[in-house]
Amino acid sequence: MTEILIKNGFVVDPLNKIDCQKMDIAIKNGRIVEKVNEREAKIIDASGLTVMAGGVDLHSHIAGSEVNLGRMLRPDDHVKDAVRKTALTRAGTGYSIPSTYVTGYRYSKMGYTTVMNPSMAAMKAKHAHEELNDIPLIDKASFTLLGDWWFALENIAKGDLVECARHIAWMIRATRSYAIKIVNPGGLESWGFGRNVHSIDDKVPNFDLTPRDIITGLAKVNTMLNMPHTIHLHTNNLGVPGNYKTAIETMQALESVYTGDKPIGHITHIQFCSFAGDNWAHFKSGAAEIANYLNAHNHMTIDIGQVTFADTTTMTADGPFEFSLYELGGHNKWVNSDVETESSGGIIPFHFKKKNAVNAIQWSIGLELSLMVKDPWKVAMTTDHPNGGPFYHYPRVFAWLYSRKAREATLKKCNKKAQRKSLLPTLDREYTLYELAIITRAGTAKMLGLKNKGHIGIGAEADVAIYNINPNTTDIAQDYKPVRKAFSNAIYTIKDGEIVVKDKELVTIRPGRTMWLDVQTKEPCRIDDELKRKFKEYWTIEFDNYPVTDHYIKVPEKITIQASV
């Protein structure tokens, strides 16, 4: 392996409390080291440039059956953005749902090196892994949808959390996944019968349970298993006006599980569940209430799910939500499905428009939340790709966060009613580069429990991004456009000590790893005849064929965890 020395860059590394200090970063054997032999190392002159750890995205739908279904549904999306092959890269298509290779290329060019695929139906895990194999350059992992998993629900209803934990550990291993994803708990099970749950205390059909029980139960299970990430929660009532109350109730429900050391829950794309008002006509922002709650409590983290005003494709496992979105009208084509006993899914092409009051308020809510939650370590920047906008629109979101001027320029073009309702003119906060590094790499890596990612201290994985931003000479808030441009294409991206982007162009294509957890419980999960019988009766896949086997993952990275049960 070559040795690399990045000289004289302005290093921004929040996990090691380094804020724009001029220093050298040495890389050897894929790790950050103290020093390298200067005469033998490859020298990168980063003077006048900003050096950060490679970006870590904790919520981006990049692979899986729903993503692929979205691709099939939208040839019109591909024709807008056809990507030609080059000597190095393969051809593909882009826009809202880029093909696998293009996903890897674009993330890498933005300086991102780790991406989490946050929604994987257990039954479709094999497909998801095959697609992840084809995404080059970035490390990735998937979260399995377990919020409506029958056996988990049964065990929670029985009150047997220990057995539930062992079962979840088995599932995490069987699907080669990284965390517990909960989508509209109870709602997806209800959707199998054409119903939904409308509060966290509604009854789930056929189970003696409420969403509250599922959320708190799985949060406890998550702690028992010593999982690196918290539960990854998509709340009930997503996308319904007035749902900020549900989001707050959900967070309050989790207070009882909190032991005081580290967060125990993560609410994802919280913008979509911070709606106030009784109906769409009186739609307004509930960001202030959510932000106040988060500022007063430490047991939750969030990511934003920012809207970027794009012609995008919404896709989620929350089938009932997508159905209500369809009912709002104006849609040409859509998909809604029930993934057997496990989950559901929906896909609707959606164009977020500045002139639409609701869309513009949604845009405002995302930014209000990011700015009003005081501690950046609680916030992660996402667009819930592709729901709020494609991931390569992130630099636009950065600009809105670090520059009041950029926000105002966009707000001026928005719907008048939305402008009046927006809280943005009252918010003076502008993110610094340090805070921006927190919400895009340091904080997200911390939330995910990835100890060797998100920072460039000694021993960290050598994932580095170098951007053309000189913090000494540029006022990023005033000069937001060049900085935005700099973030959209890193000068250098280094992945595992290998230069993959040089002078803004891809120079090496290498596979990324797929991380998965091997959670070792003290006693194995009970695989009894009853479980096998259910598989035989209700699933289309035999139990023996169900788990993802090793050969499905090309470059696996097994992370072994010792559970406390």
Partner 1 sequence: MITITPKRKFDVPIQAACINVDIFTGKTLEDIKKLAITEGKENLTLNDAFNITEDKTVETPNITLIGDFSKVKRIGQGMKTGEIIINGNAGMHTGEKLAGGKIVVNGNSDGWTGSEMKKGLIEIHGDAGDYTASPFRGTDTGGMKGGIIIVDGNVGSNVGCYLRGGTIKIKGSAGRFLGHHMSDGTIYIEKNCASRAGTFMTGGKIIINGTIELVMPTFTIDSIKPKVKVDATLNAPGPFYVFLGDIAEHGTGKIFALKTTNPALSTYEKYL
Q: How far is the CB of 311 from partner 1 (least distance, A)?
A: 9
**DSSP summary character for residue 1:** -
Q: How far is the CB of 331 from partner 1 (least distance, A)?
A: 8
Query: How far apart are the C-alpha atoms of 296 and 286, rounded to whole Å?
Result: 16
Look at the chain and count its residues: 565
3-state secondary structure 218-284: HHHHHHHCCCCCCEEEECCCCCCCCCHHHHHHHHHHHHCCCCCCCCCEEECCHHHHCEECCCCCCCE
Query: How far apart are the C-alpha atoms of 194 and 278, rounded to whole Å?
Result: 24
Residue with tokens 């004289």: 8
Tokens coding 463: 């994932």
Q: How far is the CB of 16 from partner 1 (least distance, A)?
A: 48
Q: How far is the CB of 72 from partner 1 (least distance, A)?
A: 10
Q: How far is the CB of 101 from partner 1 (least distance, A)?
A: 18
User: Using CB under 8 A as the criterion, which residues of the chain lie in contact with partner 1 when the complex forms?
Assistant: 73-77, 79, 332-333, 349
Round the CA-based radius of gyration of the chain to a whole number and report it: 22
Residue 106: CA count within 13 A, CB half-sphere: 23
If the CB atoms of residues 73 and 490 are measured against partner 1, the closer one turns out to be: 73
Query: How far apart are the C-alpha atoms of 24 and 44, rounded to whole Å?
Result: 10
Q: How far is the CB of 309 from partner 1 (least distance, A)?
A: 16
Does residue 386 have a cis bond before it (omega within 30 degrees)? yes
CA–centroid distance for 354 within its chain:
24
If the CB atoms of residues 76 and 375 are measured against partner 1, the closer one turns out to be: 76
For Cα atoms 380, 383, 384, give the angle at the middle one, nearest 5 degrees: 90
If the CB atoms of residues 351 and 429 are measured against partner 1, the closer one turns out to be: 351
Q: How far is the CB of 79 from partner 1 (least distance, A)?
A: 5
If the CB atoms of residues 88 and 91 are measured against partner 1, the closer one turns out to be: 91
Q: How far is the CB of 74 from partner 1 (least distance, A)?
A: 6
Q: Give the SS3 label for residue 71.
A: helix
If the CB atoms of residues 73 and 253 are measured against partner 1, the closer one turns out to be: 73
Quickly count: other Cβ atoms within 10 Å of residue 527's Cβ: 11
Residues 201 and 235: beta-carbon distance below 8 Å? no
Residue with tokens 């965890």: 561
If the CB atoms of residues 335 and 561 are measured against partner 1, the closer one turns out to be: 335
Q: What is each CA distance from 22 to 50, 374, 440, 455, 457, in whole angstroms?
A: 9, 27, 21, 16, 14
If the CB atoms of residues 332 and 473 are measured against partner 1, the closer one turns out to be: 332
For Cα atoms 360, 363, 364, give the angle at the middle one, nearest 5 degrees: 90
**DSSP summary character for residue 238:** T
Q: How far is the CB of 328 from partner 1 (least distance, A)?
A: 15
If the CB atoms of residues 346 and 454 are measured against partner 1, the closer one turns out to be: 346
If the CB atoms of residues 331 and 416 are measured against partner 1, the closer one turns out to be: 331
Q: How far is the CB of 310 from partner 1 (least distance, A)?
A: 15
If the CB atoms of residues 84 and 412 are measured against partner 1, the closer one turns out to be: 84
If the CB atoms of residues 78 and 106 are measured against partner 1, the closer one turns out to be: 78
User: What burial class does residue 150 get, using C-beta atoms within 10 Å of its C-beta: 0-12 exposed, 13-18 middle, 19+ buried?
Assistant: middle
Residue 423: CA count within 13 A, CB half-sphere: 18
Which segments within 262-420 are labelled E, that is strand?
Answer: 265-267, 275-276, 284-285, 300-303, 311-316, 335-339, 343-351, 379-380
Q: Give the SS3 label for residue 430.
A: coil
